[in-house]
Amino acid sequence: NAGVTQTPKFQVLKTGQSMTLQCAQDMNHEYMSWYRQDPGMGLRLIHYSVGAGITDQGEVPNGYNVSRSTTEDFPLRLLSAAPSQTSVYFCASSPGRILGNEQFFGPGTRLTVL
């Protein structure tokens, strides 16, 4: 198993550009989520999905879109990048909705918006 994979590892954008951060998992996990990590603030939940076709907002959803057409993939879209979106982005997955399930994290994408 590759686990949770994310591409790209690094990305530099200009303000106003759009891009998609890719996330895939091969563990047949129902639950997937996106977090952003900023210095001194830990990780904050952006969007999450409890299964294919179902998504919902987390703590900091503004400026980001998601969709979940398959169990395996959960891309995060930035429609018009802003410098405030400079951060490290982590995708995570877990087996299901049971409280306390371990979440498996991808290696992260470092995004810089100029």
Q: How many CB atoms lie within 10 A of CB 111?
A: 21
| N-terminal to C-terminal alpha carbon distance within the chain | 36
Q: How many CA atoms lie within 13 A of 100 on its CB side?
A: 0
Answer yes or no whether residue 107 interacts with another protein by CB under 8 A. yes
65: part of which helix (H) or strand (E)? strand 64-66
Distance CA 78, CA 82 (A): 9
Under rule CB under 8 A, how many of the chain's residues touch another protein? 26
Answer yes or no whether residue 102 interacts with another protein by CB under 8 A. yes
Among 51, 58, 61, 75, binds another protein (CB under 8 A): 58
CB of 61 to another protein, least distance (A): 12
User: Which positions from 61 through 90 interact with another protein, judged by CB under 8 A?
Assistant: 88, 90
Q: Taking every pair of C-alpha atoms in the chain, what is the biggest distance, in angstroms? A: 40
Answer yes or no whether residue 2 interacts with another protein by CB under 8 A. no
Answer yes or no whether residue 33 interacts with another protein by CB under 8 A. yes
Residue numbers of the site for another protein (CB under 8 A)? 31, 33, 35, 40-45, 48, 50, 58-59, 88, 90, 92, 94, 97, 99-103, 105, 107-108
